Structure 1
Amino acid sequence: MPSQKNPILDRRKQVPEQSTWWFKLSLAQKFSASSLGKFGYELSFIRNDEGHSLAVLMCDSGIAVVTEDGDINTSPNIKLR
């Protein structure tokens, strides 16, 4: 009897490419944000820090930021209002 696999559960509320912030990301940020999306992170907003773009993604378990170069930090020192 063949075993049945559980379908993959996608917790995202919307497709990232439909976010109004998505078009403001660099190509490297888009790749990193897509990778984080597989873990439930969603692009929340972009912060401009001294002329540099910083993408802020959130999920139930925390916050992650992605630099213009695509570097991911899942333990950022960032304050949200």
Structure 2
Amino acid sequence: MALAMQREDLLERRQPTSGDFDDLWEELTLAQKFAASSLTQFGYKLNFIRDFYDTHIAVLNCNENIAVISKGGEINTHPNIDIRD
């Protein structure tokens, strides 16, 4: 039962509310904000931010397309990452 509750908590965290978007935006570096702003013009939306191995990447999506933005603002529209549903 506890395992099921932990899974539900994790799934719930992946469903952003409108307030969470502003929180995510504030976590972006200045370079990422500029890059993300340019991608939003093409319909991309900020999904989440991940910090691992001292990297800070922003993950955005537009329909089935995924883009990531590095800490320095570099955009990769064909990243080699898997996104869970």
Which residue of structure 2 lines up, in the alignment, with residue 80 of structure 1?
Answer: 83
1:31-79 deviations in whole A, cap 9, x for unaligned? 0000000000000000112021000001114000000000000000011
Name the structure 1 match of 2:14. none
The one-letter code matched in structure 2 to 1:70 is: G
| 2:58 pairs with 1:62 | no
- Cross-structure match for 2:43: 40
Higher normalized helix content (fraction of residues): 2
Q: TM-score, normalised by structure 1?
A: 0.74
**Number of aligned residue pairs:** 65
Q: What are the ranges of 5 or more consecutive residues in structure 1 without an aligned counterpart?
A: 1-17
CA RMSD of aligned residues (A): 1.5
Ranges of 4+ aligned residues in structure 1 off by more than 3 Å: none
Q: Percent identity?
A: 52
Q: Gaps (5+ residues) in structure 2? A: 1-20
Secondary structure at 2:49 match in 1: strand
